[in-house]
Amino acid sequence: MGAPDFAGLPHIGEALKRKEDYRFLTGAGQYTDDIDLANQTHCIFVRSPHAHATIKSVDIAAASKMPGVVGIFSGKDIEGKMGGLPCGWLINNPDGTPMKEPMHPILAINKVRYVGDHVAMVVAETVEQAKNAAEAVVVDYDVHPALVSVADAAKKQSGVTLHAEAPDNQCYKWAIGDKAAVDAAFQNAAHVTKLDLVNNRLVPNPMEPRVAIGSYSRANEEYVLYVSNQNPHVERLLMTAFVLGLPEHKVRVIAPDVGGGFGSKIYLYAEDVCLTWASKQLNRSIKWTGERSECFLSDAHGRDHVSHAEMAMDAQGKFLALRVHTDANLGAYLSTFSTAVPTILYATLLAGQYTTPQIYVEVDAWFTNTAPVDAYRGAGRPEATYLLERLVSRCAWEMNLGQDEIRKRNFITAFPYQTPVALQYDTGDFHACMDKSKQLADVAGFAARKSASEAQGKLRGMGYSSYIEACGIAPSNIAGALGARAGLFECGEIRVHPTGSVTVFTGSHSHGQGHETTFAQVVAARLGIAVEAVDVVHGDTGRVPFGMGTYGSRSISVGGAAIMKALDKIEAKAKKIAAHLLEASDADIEFANGEFTVKGTDKKIPFGQVALTAYVPHNYPLDKLEPGLNETAFYDPTNFTFPGGTYICEVEIDKQTGEVRVDRFTAVDDFGTIINPMIVEGQVHGGLVQGIGQALMENCVYDSEGQLLTGSFMDYAMPRAEDFPMFKLDTVCTPCTHNPLGTKGCGEAGAIGSPPAVINAVLDALAPLGVKDFDMPASPHRVWEAMQKGSAST
Ligand code: MCN
C-alpha cells in the first residue's frame, strides 16, 4: 500500500484554511431553505399530540376550504400507493429467527405511536396559510396508555403493544461471543466488578433543522428533491426502490450546503417522501422547513441504553472475561440504521483497547412510544466506550490500582489483533497515547491542584477514558455478513480538464467536515498540482455517479480511497500519453511531483501538457489510446479503520451547588495519516463538545404519558463555549494498513471518548463523600443530590 509514501507528499499534513469557509463566512452558502422554486407551495405536517392512540377519523373538510390551501393528504389518502420507510439492517435472533420489522407508514394510517408522528400534510400557497389550515384539521383519537422507558419495556408488564407484529414490543434479541467460555471464566475469577448504568437519550440538534423541497416536471417526467441530508444517493435509492417504486433515473436528489447533521440527516424521513410524491399529485413544487420543535419531536434521537456489565479479573487486575446485557430503546419505528447501532456498532466494540480473552454481550431491542432512535455522532461506539471505560475505572477503584495502571496492564500491544467480538484491529499504539496524554494533562501536578481546590472548599477529580472505534463504515463483506442490505463502498470520479485543473466528484457528502479542502489536498498531492486547481463536487445524484454518503467517519478512508483508486487509473492512462509524447515505452515512464520522466534520462513533460494532449491529441495513436482523462472508481474497504486514544478530564465541583466545571481536558488520538491537522482539530473539538455536553447537561426526557418534556432549548441544555476550557490535543500516528492513505476516521472520536472521562472525573471528585455511582448528565441538581445521598451513607 502507498501509505508511507503518501504521507510524505506536499499538502499532506498541511493545515490549510478551509476552501469552503469563504462562502460560509460571507453569507454565500446555499442551504436548502435558501432555494425557492417557481410555482412553489409550502407544507406543514399535522403531528400527533399523543404518544399512543388509535386514529378514529381525520376530518379535512373545513381545512380544505381555508384560504390558499392547495391540497391535504392523510394516511388513508396514500394507503396502498407506496411502501413504508425501510430499515437498512436486518438482525437475526440467536435462534435464527428474524427480527420484527413492523410497517412504518409514511403518514400514520390507523394508529399514532409517538408524539410528533405524522398524521397529515397540508399544502398551501404560504407557510402561514398552511399553518392555519393544519390547525383546522380535526383528528379524532382514542388515546391508549403509552410505553415510554426501555426499562419498562424490558419488564414486559406494561400491557401496551405498539405493533401487532411484536406483541411483547421486542424487536430482537441479539448476542455475540461465547457465553459458556465467559461463564467458566467468571467461575475462576479472583474478583468480579459489577456496574449498572444508563446511557441517556440525546437529540442531535444540528444548527440547520431539516428542510426539503419536492418538485416534479411533467415535461420530463422527473422529480427533484432538494433536501438537507447526509447521503443523497442512499436517500434516492431507498425512496425509489422501497417506497415509491419509481425508476431511479427519474429522481434527482440534491443536498446543497448542509448546516450539520451529526447522524440525524442520514435517514430517509417521511417528510421527504411526502413532498416528492405530492409534488406530482398537485403539480406544484412543495417546500417544508422544519421548525426547531419538530427537530426535537421527530428527528431520530440517539443513545438510550440501560445496561448491566460485569468484569472478571485475576488477582493482579488482568481482565479474564466481560459479560454485558443491554436493553436498547429503538423508539416507535425502525429508522434506517437503528437496528445496527446497538448491535454491530456497539457490542463489537466492547473489547476496547484490552486483551480481555472472553466477551459475551446480549442486546434486547424494544419498541416504545417515543421518537425513533438511530445513529447520533458515534452511534453505538460512544455507548460501548461509556460502558467499558466506566467499568474499567470501577475495576481500578475496587482493585486499588491506578487508573492508568489497570488500563496499561490490559492494553493490546501486538497487531493485528483479533478480538473475541468479531473485529480485527490492524494497528494502534495504546501505551503511546496513554503516556502522551498523561504528560500533556500534567497528571503529576494533579495532587497540588486538588489541594488548591480543597483550600477553596471545592472538590477536584480526574477521569480517564481509553477508547477505540471502528470507522470507515463499512466493508461490504463484513456489512453483508452482519445483515446489511447493501455494502457501504464509496465512489470517486476524477475529471482532468484540458488545462490540467481537476474536478472531483465524490459520494462523500460534506456537511461541515471540510471535504472540499481535504479531498482537494489529496488530489493535489497525488498529481503535483496546486490545491486551488482542484474543485470538489458532492451532494447531487445528477452530477456524482454514486455514493453511500457521510457517516461513521468514513469519508477520507473510504471516499478518499476511492479517489486514490480513480487517480491510479488517471496516472496509468496519463503515463501512456506521456510515453507517446516522449517517444518512450509505457513501462519506462515515471511520475512524481507533477512531472512525467523517462526513467534514467532527463526527458520530461509536466502533467498539464499531458492533460492538454489528452483532449487535443497531436499525432495521437487514436486506435490504441482513447482521448480524454476522466476516470471513476469504486472502493470497498477490506476492514474498518480503528482510531483510538486516551482522554483525561479534570473537573472541579462546587460543594454548595453541585456545579461541575471541566477545568482541563486532554485528548490524544491516533488517526493514522492526517491530511489536514487544522480540520482534524476542529472535528475533535466538535466531538468533544458533544460528548462533554452529554456528560454534563444534555438529556432527553419523556413523561410517563410519552410527552416530550425537553422539547425546546429552554429545557434541553446545549453546551456553550463558556462551558469548556481550551482543549489540549495531540496525536500519535500508526497508519492504517489497508487503505492507500493510511488514514483513520476522526469525525466521531471526541464524542466517543469524552463522556466516560468526564463521569469518571466526577466520581473521582465525589469519592470522599462516598458516591460510587452516577448516571449522566452531571447537572448541578443531580450532582448535589448524589452528594447529599453519598454523605448520608458514609
Ligand atoms: N481527516 C483528515 N485526516 C484524517 C481523518 C480525517 O484530514 N486522518 C479529515 C477528512 O478529510 C474530513 C474530516 O477530517 O475533512 C472528517 O473526516 P472523517 O473522519 O473521514 O469523517 P467524515 O468526513 O466521514 O464525517 C463524518 C463524521 C460523523 S460520523 C459525524 S456524526 C459528524 C462529523 O463527522 N457530523 C458532523 N463531523 C461533523 N462536523 C460538522 N461540522 N457537522 C457535522 O454534522
513 Cα: distance to centroid of ligand 1 (angstroms): 5
From the CB of 512, is ligand 1 less than 6 Å away?
yes
Residue 130: helix, strand or coil by DSSP? helix
653 Cα: distance to centroid of ligand 1 (angstroms): 33
Residues 6+ apart with CB under 8 A from 460: 446, 449, 450, 453, 454, 650, 651, 652, 653, 663, 765
* Ligand 1 mutation pick, 17, 31, 229, 683, max ligand atoms within 8 A of CB: 683
Residue 41, C-alpha cell as written in the block: 407551495
Q: Which residue's alpha carbon is at the smallest distance from atom 32 of ligand 1?
A: 262
Co-location of 329 and 269 in the same domain = no
Give the pLDDT mean for 281-298. 97
Q: What's the pLDDT band for 792 if we cut at 50, 70, 90?
A: low
Centroid of chain to Cα 591: 38
Pairing of strands 644-654, 728-731: unpaired
Over residues 485-498, the pLDDT tens digits come to 777 899 999 999 99
Cα separation, 135 vs 158, whole angstroms: 33
Residue with cell 483525561: 648
From the CB of 690, is ligand 1 less than 6 Å away?
no
> Dihedral, CA atoms, 744, 483, 380, 472, nearest 10 degrees?
10
Q: What's the pLDDT band for 481 if we cut at 50, 70, 90?
A: confident
Q: Which residue's alpha carbon is at the smallest distance from atom 23 of ligand 1?
A: 555
From the CB of 377, is ligand 1 less than 6 Å away?
yes
Over residues 432-470, the pLDDT tens digits come to 999 999 999 999 999 999 999 999 999 999 999 999 999
Q: Which residue's alpha carbon is at the smallest distance from atom 33 of ligand 1?
A: 747
Q: Domain holding 14: CATH number? A: 3.30.365.10
Residue 199: inside a domain, yes or no? no
Nearest residue to 255 (alpha-carbon basis) of 217, 294, 291, 206: 206
pLDDT mean across residues, the chain: 96
Which element (helix H / strand E) includes 527? helix 515-527
Centroid of chain to Cα 634: 22
Cα separation, 269 vs 292, whole angstroms: 16
Q: Which amino acid is at 433?
A: C
Which element (helix H / strand E) includes 22? helix 21-25
Residue 164: inside a domain, yes or no? no
Cα separation, 10 vs 232, whole angstroms: 32
Burial string for 201-225 (b: 16+ CB within 10 Å, else e) reads bbbbbbebbbbbbbbbeeeeebbbb
Q: Domain holding 108: CATH number? A: 3.90.1170.50
Tell me which of 600, 635, 670 is where a domain ends: 635
What is the pLDDT at residue 1?
43
Q: Which amino acid is at 55?
A: I
pLDDT of residue 650 exceeding 80: yes
Residue 618: inside a domain, yes or no? yes
From the CB of 378, is ligand 1 less than 6 Å away?
no
Give the pLDDT mean for 262-275. 97
Residue 767: inside a domain, yes or no? yes
Co-location of 494 and 585 in the same domain = yes
Nearest residue to 41 (alpha-carbon basis) of 298, 299, 289, 246: 289
Cα separation, 569 vs 647, whole angstroms: 41
| Strand order across the 644-654 sheet | 458-468, 644-654, 660-670, 728-731
Structural domains in the chain (count): 3
Q: Rounded to 5 degrees, what angle do the CA atoms 605, 606, 608 make?
A: 130
Over residues 189-205, the pLDDT tens digits come to 999 999 999 999 999 99
Share of the chain above pLDDT 70, in %: 99
pLDDT of residue 3 exceeding 50: no
Domain of residue 563: give its range. Answer: 3-29+490-635
Residue 103: inside a domain, yes or no? yes
pLDDT of residue 4 exceeding 50: no
Closest ligand 1 atom to residue 675 Cα is 7
Maximum Cα interatomic distance, the chain, rounded to a whole number of Å: 92
Residue 58 pairs with which residues in a beta bridge? 139
Burial string for 633-655 (b: 16+ CB within 10 Å, else e) reads bbbbbebbbbbbbbbbbbbbbbb
Q: What's the pLDDT band for 479 if we cut at 50, 70, 90?
A: confident
Co-location of 708 and 766 in the same domain = yes
- CA distance to 73, 233, 511, 722, per residue, from 289 (Å): 18, 21, 18, 30
Closest ligand 1 atom to residue 206 Cα is 44
Co-location of 507 and 606 in the same domain = yes
Q: Which residue's alpha carbon is at the smallest distance from atom 3 of ligand 1?
A: 674
Residues 6+ apart with CB under 8 A from 721: none
| 313 neighbors 319 (Cβ within 8 angstroms) | yes
Q: What's the pLDDT band for 431 if we cut at 50, 70, 90?
A: very high
536 Cα: distance to centroid of ligand 1 (angstroms): 16
Number of Cβ within 10 Å of residue 704's Cβ equals 12
Cα separation, 375 vs 583, whole angstroms: 56
Helix axes 677-696, 749-766, angle to 10 degrees: 40
- CA distance to 269, 510, 544, per residue, from 232 (Å): 12, 11, 10
Give the pLDDT mean for 717-728. 96
Co-location of 695 and 786 in the same domain = yes
Cα separation, 651 vs 628, whole angstroms: 60
Co-location of 537 and 397 in the same domain = no
Over residues 548-599, the pLDDT tens digits come to 999 999 999 999 999 999 999 999 999 999 999 999 999 999 999 999 999 9
Tell me which of 635, 664, 690 is where a domain ends: 635
From the CB of 6, is ligand 1 less than 6 Å away?
no
Over residues 93-106, the pLDDT tens digits come to 989 999 999 999 99
Which element (helix H / strand E) includes 73? strand 69-74
| 158 neighbors 315 (Cβ within 8 angstroms) | no
Co-location of 538 and 611 in the same domain = yes
From the CB of 536, is ligand 1 less than 6 Å away?
no
Co-location of 294 and 332 in the same domain = no
Residue 129: inside a domain, yes or no? yes
Residues 6+ apart with CB under 8 A from 703: 148, 709
From the CB of 513, is ligand 1 less than 6 Å away?
yes
What is the pLDDT at residue 544?
97
Cα separation, 419 vs 687, whole angstroms: 26
Complex ipTM, two decimals?
Answer: 0.99
pLDDT of residue 649 exceeding 90: yes
Give the pLDDT mean for 3-15. 84
Q: What's the pLDDT band for 791 if we cut at 50, 70, 90?
A: low
Co-location of 19 and 116 in the same domain = no
pLDDT of residue 224 exceeding 90: yes
Residue 506 pairs with which residues in a beta bridge? 492
Q: Which residue's alpha carbon is at the smallest distance from atom 40 of ligand 1?
A: 512
Number of Cβ within 10 Å of residue 14's Cβ equals 17
512 Cα: distance to centroid of ligand 1 (angstroms): 8
Give the pLDDT mean for 610-634. 91
DSSP string, 734-780: ---SSSTT-B---SSHHHHHHHHHHHHHHHHHHGGGT----PSP--H
Cα separation, 217 vs 220, whole angstroms: 6
Co-location of 716 and 670 in the same domain = yes
What is the pLDDT at residue 436?
98
549 Cα: distance to centroid of ligand 1 (angstroms): 12
Residue 176: inside a domain, yes or no? no
Residue 620: inside a domain, yes or no? yes
From the CB of 326, is ligand 1 less than 6 Å away?
no
Which element (helix H / strand E) includes 275? helix 270-282
From the CB of 679, is ligand 1 less than 6 Å away?
yes
What is the pLDDT at residue 2?
42
Over residues 356-382, the pLDDT tens digits come to 999 999 999 999 999 999 999 999 999
Q: Which amino acid is at 31?
A: Y
Alpha helix positions (H), 400-490: 403-410, 430-440, 446-455, 476-481
**Least confident span in 389-403, 612-626, 730-744:** 612-626
| 637 neighbors 558 (Cβ within 8 angstroms) | yes
Could you say which DSSP state residue 333 is in? S
pLDDT of residue 385 exceeding 90: yes
Co-location of 331 and 293 in the same domain = no
Over residues 405-424, the pLDDT tens digits come to 999 999 999 999 999 999 99
314 Cα: distance to centroid of ligand 1 (angstroms): 40
Tell me which of 569, 603, 635 is where a domain ends: 635
Residue 57: helix, strand or coil by DSSP? strand
Co-location of 398 and 273 in the same domain = no
Closest ligand 1 atom to residue 230 Cα is 44
From the CB of 683, is ligand 1 less than 6 Å away?
yes
| Strand order across the 118-124 sheet | 69-74, 118-124, 40-47, 285-289, 211-217, 222-227, 251-254
From the CB of 345, is ligand 1 less than 6 Å away?
no
